[in-house]
Amino acid sequence: MTSRPGLRLKTAALLLMMIVFGPLGDVLLGRGMKRIPAMASWAPGDIFRFFFAAFTSGAVWLGIGSLTFFFVAYILVLSWADYSYVQPASALSYGLVTLMAWAFLHEDVTPTRWAGVLMICLGVFTVGHTHPQTTEPR
């Protein structure tokens, strides 16, 4: 097990990227796909029109870009950090999505949901106080 200055910082920076770009990509992709008409049939022409509409949508491309950032951050952080550290820590995205829905979209957030966010924060805080790296490279 190693403990170097900067390890926690770079782990936190990449987790932050995952927490932001993961849900953002999902939302953009979902919004982009909802704007295009459903596939009329499985005929080759309809399939082509569906994919053409999807891949000419700016929101879909922004979504794919966001999810690519998410995945790159995910595999990079896993090159040193424990999976059992990264997986629960990335659940903070639920908290961020709830907070943004409340602050920017003025959605009503139920007390149960706030309690869940609090539990997630508590869980991430608890996991975050363990060492991010307990194994050596294979």
Which residues form the interface with other proteins (CB under 8 A)? Answer: 1, 72, 74-76, 78-80, 82-88, 91, 94-95, 98, 108-130, 134-135, 137-138
Nearer to other proteins, 56 or 134 (CB): 134
Nearer to other proteins, 50 or 74 (CB): 74
* C-alpha span between 128 and 16 (Å, rounded): 13
CB of 92 to other proteins, least distance (A): 9
Amino acid at 71: F
Cα angle: 74, vertex 67, 101; to 5 degrees: 105
Nearer to other proteins, 45 or 108 (CB): 108
CB of 86 to other proteins, least distance (A): 8
Q: What is the DSSP string of 3-43?
A: --TTHHHHHHHHHHHHHHHHHHHHHHHHHHHHHSPPP--SS
